[in-house]
Amino acid sequence: MIICETREELTNWRNNQLEVSLVPTMGALHDGHLSLIQEAKKHRGRSLVSIFVNPKQFGPNEDFDQYPRTLDADLKKCEDEGVDCVWIPKERGIYPEGVENAIGITVPDSLSKVLCGVSRPHFFDGVCTVVYRLLILSKATTAIFGEKDFQQLIILKKMVSDLMIPVTISGCPIVRETDGLAMSSRNRYLSSKERHNAATLYQALLTAKKELSEGINDISVIRSRLQSNCPQLTLDYLECVDHDTLELKQTCKNGDRLCVAAWCGQTRLIDNLMI
């Protein structure tokens, strides 16, 4: 496994016509990331994992400084998965003139100011800005993301289509703990009591899906029932969206996605479910 920091060190795979499957990450790798890596390895060519905690996607009061950084463990996991190259860019390698002076991508409000964008208004601009740079620098042919960040996935698909970047964006199913909690690097912030409460979110989503099949399909009703099914959590949002466009629906139907965010203590959980 090659470990590199600079774009020059990224091997000349593409010059040799090899396809590159990139798994962009911020490190603190868990089994969800490993499923993305396993998907990358199914593709022809080489697998590349980037580890970069992107300052541009964190708000001023968010957890950039506290974000878990577990490089040694991450490298071991990548090695065990048979990753061909781990790319650990320095901040100046991604933002040569500094984060504040970087030209960025602006995502239209219709996609970036709904769902998670209501409480994190600059998040998706920051994500797109870094992923654009990672794609250009790596010349990846495929980039793989998890469906837990469903809004991120839809926005990134639109970005590569709008900007005509020759890469295929591929999404992988959510990986869950045995009690259903969607895996996330931030789950390690949860106390044991919070960790117990956190699992109620997925159970409440499953209940909502069941109730939908019984005819309860108004999102306002689903929202208040879901909140009462996970009383220890504070709902940030629950929305039903079109699977391709993220358009918000008042009435949910099969094929839509229920997307949820809720606070569990100081930790914000997100999850989603196809209905």
Distance separating alpha carbons of residues 166 and 176, to the nearest angstrom: 31
Pick one of 36, 37, 107, 130: the residue that binds ligand PAF (CB under 6 A): 130
The answer to whether residue 143 forms part of the interface with ligand PAF (CB under 6 A) is: no
The answer to whether residue 127 forms part of the interface with ligand PAF (CB under 6 A) is: yes
In terms of Cβ atoms closer than 10 Å to its own Cβ (0-12, 13-18, 19+), residue 231 is exposed
DSSP secondary structure letters along 70-86: -HHHHHHHHHHHT-SEE
Closest separation between CB of residue 130 and ligand PAF, Å? Answer: 5
The answer to whether residue 25 forms part of the interface with ligand PAF (CB under 6 A) is: yes
Nearer to ligand PAF, 153 or 252 (CB): 153
Nearer to ligand PAF, 20 or 204 (CB): 20
Backbone phi and psi for residue 170, each to the nearest 5 degrees, phi listed first: -120, 140
DSSP 181: P
The answer to whether residue 149 forms part of the interface with ligand PAF (CB under 6 A) is: yes
Q: Which stretch binds ligand PAF (CB under 6 A): 5-13, 20-28, 221-229, 237-245?
A: 20-28
Active-site residues, by number, are 33
Closest separation between CB of residue 129 and ligand PAF, Å? Answer: 9
The position carrying tokens 């399909």 is 217
Nearer to ligand PAF, 49 or 252 (CB): 49
DSSP 99: G
Question: Between vectors from CA 141 to CA 37 and to CA 92, what angle results, nearest 5°?
Answer: 80
Q: Which stretch binds ligand PAF (CB under 6 A): 78-86, 123-131, 176-184, 265-273?
A: 123-131
Number of CB atoms found within 10 A of residue 220's CB: 9
The answer to whether residue 169 forms part of the interface with ligand PAF (CB under 6 A) is: no
Nearer to ligand PAF, 26 or 201 (CB): 26
Q: Residue 192 is encoded by which pair of tokens?
A: 């044991």
The answer to whether residue 131 forms part of the interface with ligand PAF (CB under 6 A) is: yes
Nearer to ligand PAF, 28 or 252 (CB): 28
Closest separation between CB of residue 180 and ligand PAF, Å? Answer: 20
Name the strands in the sheet holding 85-87, side by side, starting at the edge strand that comes first in the sequence.
2-4, 85-87, 46-51, 20-25, 142-146, 168-172
Name the CA dihedral angle for 21, 26, 30, 33, rounded to a multiple of 10 degrees: -20
Nearer to ligand PAF, 130 or 241 (CB): 130
Number of CB atoms found within 10 A of residue 13's CB: 19
The answer to whether residue 272 forms part of the interface with ligand PAF (CB under 6 A) is: no
Site map (CB under 6 A) of ligand PAF, residues 78-117, x = contact: ----------------------------------------
Secondary structure of residue 170 in the 3-state scheme: strand
Nearest to 133 by CA among 153, 104, 111, 108: 104
- Given the rule CB under 6 A, which residues bind ligand PAF? 24-26, 54, 57, 127, 130-131, 149, 152
